[in-house]
Amino acid sequence: MKLLSLLIMHMQKTGPAVCIDSFRLDPALIRPGRVDMKEFVGHCSSYQLQQMFQRFYRDEPEHLSAEFAQLILDQGRPVSPALIQGYFMFHKDSSREMMKNAPKIFEV
């Protein structure tokens, strides 16, 4: 219940602007009144992967986003936006290193 106490304290100080992943949370934490909106994000499509790439690596040629999306989808496993964002942060200084290591994304 420590998490519940922290969420309540945060909401009292800043207002109800907390995002949580409810995949493995106790139902008491996500009952009506505590969580006003639930949204399923799901796994990334090719379009989403390309858009994330373009927004993170703004100075890179657009064709690399399609190449990146294909590298990820060729792994044959569903991938979440959170994993992609974390992977980009891990390689934030070098899109070349990110592309080179993309086939190993699930090993990170």
Other C-beta atoms lying within 10 Å of the C-beta of residue 63 = 8
pTM: 0.67
Q: What is the pLDDT of residues 41-53, one digit of tens each?
A: 789 999 999 999 9
CA angle 63, 85, 88 (to 5 degrees): 60
pLDDT value at residue 56: 94
- On whether the CB atoms of residues 20 and 30 are closer than 8 A, the answer is yes
Give yes or no for a contact between 18 and 7, defined as CB atoms under 8 angstroms apart.
yes
**pLDDT tens-place string over residues 29-88:** 777 776 777 777 789 999 999 999 999 999 999 999 999 999 999 999 999 998 999 999
Task: Show me where the domains of the chain are located.
Answer: 1-40, 46-107
- Whether residue 16 is predicted with pLDDT greater than 60 in this model: the reply is no
Torsion angle of the four alpha carbons 81, 87, 92, 94, in this order, in degrees rounded to the nearest 10: -120
